[in-house]
Amino acid sequence: MTRRRPLLQAGLLLPALPWPALAPPASAQEPGWPSRPIRLIVPYAPGGGTDVVARAVADRAGRLLNATIVVDNRPGGAGNLATQMAAEAAPDGYTLLVGNIGPIAVNPSLFRNLRPDPAEALAPVTLLAAAPLLILANPKLPVTSLAELIALARQKPGSLNYGSAGNGSANHLAGAYLALKAGIEIQHVPYRGAGPALNDLVSGTLQIMPATLPSAIGMVKDGLVRALAVTSPRRVPALPELPTVAEAGVAGYEMSGWYGVMAPARTPPAIVARLQQAIAAALQDPEVRARIESEGAEPSGMAPEAFGRFAAAERAKWAEVVREARISID
């Protein structure tokens, strides 16, 4: 990746507009909702972070709604397949999507002529949780802080590499964003999944990698990799001594992998409101919170309007990063 010009001065954020969720006629308000199971589509295979968060919330929220919420894993197409399925479903409150930063905020800039456009086809319900990444380095790299890493990259432009789970992944975006904000040139090496990339980071084939906290914290504590900073705006309790990227000298840097519930556009506002209330209450359940926090994520539950503004801001932010870093899907 080659840096072309400074990007995203500290504090700069493109204007965020709420995502549209057109109100249906009163006749669309289904009496007695919910009266049958609710399908919650997850764009990835079972066992990943998105799936874990979805399942942690689904059971408790379903009980609060006096309904069954069935998790339906539909991997494929970088999350676009599941997004399309949800967008094309009837707007009756019985089909929902767990969208995340990839298909909701990043893919519209990565995939040309993406249809349907999530901003038009989906209505925000609530943000479930957000999880930071760690900026990791191989211990043999002669740096012990993010400032030293940036200095080394400036001394030897293009000589350092960083791995990711693939083009357009959260790891890729975090590394590209760091390079742009810090004004450095580092080479991206895409893998087919985060696991193989982390293995190569441990072996020394890779020098740097942004990785989710749950996938990497064990390696950090065992000394297999060195954590230089966390991408969240605040330090994380699991590694309280670790500075944020902003604290380490890259002003304005902030990134998280996030998960949110979306519904087909034109889902009745009353149903959206009930869903948000049930999910927010589920996120306050001690067992649910503990399960999500064990994944390194922070539960949320924000209102639909706030989630809409958040998602729009994320989309604008990552569109600029994709453009400036010249990220593309092979």
Q: How far apart are the first and last CA of the chain?
A: 14
Residue-wise pLDDT tens digits, 281-320: 999 999 999 988 887 788 999 999 999 999 999 999 999 9
3-state secondary structure of 79: helix
Place of tokens 């801001």: 313
> Reading across the β-sheet that carries 208-212, which strands appear in turn?
187-190, 161-164, 208-212, 133-137, 226-230
Query: Are residues 214 and 294 in contact, defined by beta-carbon separation less than 8 angstroms?
Result: yes
CA atoms within 13 A on the CB side of 241: 5
Residue-wise pLDDT tens digits, 157-187: 999 999 988 877 888 999 999 999 999 999 9
Q: Which residues pair with residue 130 across a beta bridge?
A: 258, 298
pLDDT grade for 18, boundaries at 50, 70 and 90: very low
pLDDT value of residue 12 = 33
CA atoms within 13 A on the CB side of 227: 29
CATH number of 34-131+257-325: 3.40.190.150
Ranges for all domains in the chain classified under CATH 3.40.190.150: 34-131+257-325
Ranges for all domains in the chain classified under CATH 3.40.190.10: 133-230
Retrieve residue 77's tokens.
């197409």
List % helix, strand, coil for the chain (3-state, nearest 5). 40, 20, 40
Q: What is the DSSP letter of 33?
A: S
- Judged by average pLDDT, the poorest of 82-96, 105-119, 229-243 is 105-119
3-state secondary structure of 230: strand
Residue-wise pLDDT tens digits, 72-108: 999 888 888 999 999 999 999 999 999 888 889 999 9
pLDDT value of residue 122 = 96
Retrieve residue 283's tokens.
């996120």
Query: Are residues 38 and 69 in contact, defined by beta-carbon separation less than 8 angstroms?
Result: yes
pLDDT value of residue 9 = 36
Segment holding 182, helix H or strand E? helix 170-182
Query: Are residues 197 and 185 in contact, defined by beta-carbon separation less than 8 angstroms?
Result: no
3-state secondary structure of 55: helix
Instruction: Examine the pLDDT at 274 and tell me if it is beyond 90.
Output: yes
Query: What's the fold here for domain 133-230?
Result: D-Maltodextrin-Binding Protein; domain 2 (3.40.190)
pLDDT grade for 32, boundaries at 50, 70 and 90: confident
Q: What is the DSSP string of 53-86?
A: HHHHHHHHHHHHHTS-EEEEE---GGGHHHHHHH
Q: What Cα–Cα distance (Å) separates residue 250 from each residue in 42, 147, 158, 208, 212?
A: 34, 9, 19, 17, 19
Rounded mean pLDDT, 232-257: 92
Query: Are residues 133 and 170 in contact, defined by beta-carbon separation less than 8 angstroms?
Result: yes
